Structure 1
């Protein structure tokens, strides 16, 4: 199964923010949308970074409450790994596991077209395994 199929089912809406937004504002946005990361966009909508809950926790641990007043550009992950819609679930699982992150922007021709979370990937993988098990049971029974 490809990432395109997941995005076709779940949707392609992505919460994006500007690098000048305060960390507190970003934290409120994460809570409001019940998401774990936002994509930081720069000029022309290009991906400039990603800000996750983990980035905020690390900043607060390092700088105390003052971290919440800083712009997200000072704490975001600037080197963003992306995938394309043609990537498979297994390829994305490997990227996420090796990189130790839970959110992966999907990019096509330099444009952000969606975000895949570890929850999306695990959900799809479980569905695939259950379908395979049902197929094997049907084959054995038939």
Structure 2
């Protein structure tokens, strides 16, 4: 299973914000959409960073609630790991596990085209394992 197949099923909608919007705006969007990360973009869809719930918690813990009036750029991760549509579920699992990421933007030609969450990856991997188990059961039953 490839990332492009996951995006085809779940859709390629991604919540984005710009680096100059406030952390308070980001918190509102995260809560309203019930999501765990926002991709920060500039220049017509180029990825500038990613802002996760963890990023917000960390800056709140260190700087206090007044930090919510700061721009997203103050808390976002600017060195973003990305994946591509031709990456496999296993590729994405390796990237997420190694970096302890829950979300990976999907990039094509330097532009944002989707986002994959750990939930998406786990769901697809479980489906793969269940399909393989069913094939083995069918093989054994017909042998």
TM-score by length of 1: 0.98
Deviations 1:60-92 (A, max 9, x none): 011011121111101100000111100000000
Structure 1 unmatched ranges of 5 or more: none
Matched, 1:79 2:56: no
Task: Name the structure 2 match of 1:46.
Answer: 46
After TM superposition, list the pairs within 5 Å mapping 1:41-120 onto structure 2: 41-120=41-120
SS in 2 for 1:44: coil
Partner Cα distance (2:46, 2:113) in 1: 11
SS in 1 for 2:105: strand
Task: Name the structure 2 match of 1:11.
Answer: 11
Deviations 1:29-51 (A, max 9, x none): 00111110000011232100000
Residue 112 of structure 1: how far off its partner (Å): 0.6
User: What is the root-mean-square deviation of aligned Cα atoms in Å?
Assistant: 0.6
Task: Name the structure 2 match of 1:124.
Answer: 124
Residue 110 of structure 1: how far off its partner (Å): 1.1
Structure 2 unmatched ranges of 5 or more: none
